[in-house]
Amino acid sequence: MLARISIILLVVCLNSATAQLWHTGDNATVKDCNANCDKDEGCWQKTIQFYEKTLMAQLRGYVSVQVSIDQWMRRHGDKKGQDYAAALVEAQNSMNGRLNPAGDVVDSSTISVVIKSLFDKISGYSDDKKSFIPHFQCPLPCGYRHDMYRNLFFASLFLNICLAVSLVPLIYKLGKQRPLPRKAALVAKD
């Protein structure tokens, strides 16, 4: 019985320990991104391809979340869905607020063009009916991976307690069957 419970608990813990990729929190699997590209242009090309792939994934995620907001509003009583004009202004203000005041590689006009294009795409997904929501995946917070270790700790603690509970009666029983040898009494000789 105890062995079955232990196996079930182990399977449950291993089920939650899934492989992660760089975009979901495991930076050990980052490939083709190198900050020290002084040897050749090939290194720079791999790095730019990495950032292009990352940028596309983030843009898809942004559009998906905005469409999800619109669909959520439609499902919860607002027949019009999201007010895209207000959301566009809010997004532009939010991103402009994140610009480096001392100068940045991206300026407010670039943000305006990109956000306008994204919201044109977002409004294309929206109509008067509830529709399919594009998939998005949030990057995992730093603490996420520690949850697995916490769960493994509790599983290990549980298994150790079960081991102790099962071994104590066994040791007691063995101790009764074979008493420990007694030390011979020392007799003082005069």
CB-based contact 50:29 (threshold 8 Å) = no
Query: Which DSSP state fits 141?
Result: P
Q: Are 70 and 122 in contact (CB under 8 A)?
A: yes
Query: What would the pLDDT profile of 135-182 be if each residue is shown by its tens digit?
Result: 666 655 544 566 777 888 999 999 999 999 999 888 888 877 766 566
Residues 119 and 164: beta-carbon distance below 8 Å: no
**CB of 140 closer than 8 Å to CB of 146:** no
One-character DSSP codes across 6-29: HHHHHHHHHHH-----GGGT-GGG
pLDDT at 161: 95
What is the model's pTM? 0.55
Q: Which one is predicted more confidently, 134 or 175?
A: 175
Neighbour tally for 87: CB within 10 Å = 17
What DSSP string runs through 94-140?
Answer: HHHHTS-TT--SS-HHHHHHHHHHHHHHHHHH--SS--PPPP--PPP
Helices and strands, number each (H, E), in the chain: 5, 0
Report the length, in residues, of the chain. Answer: 190
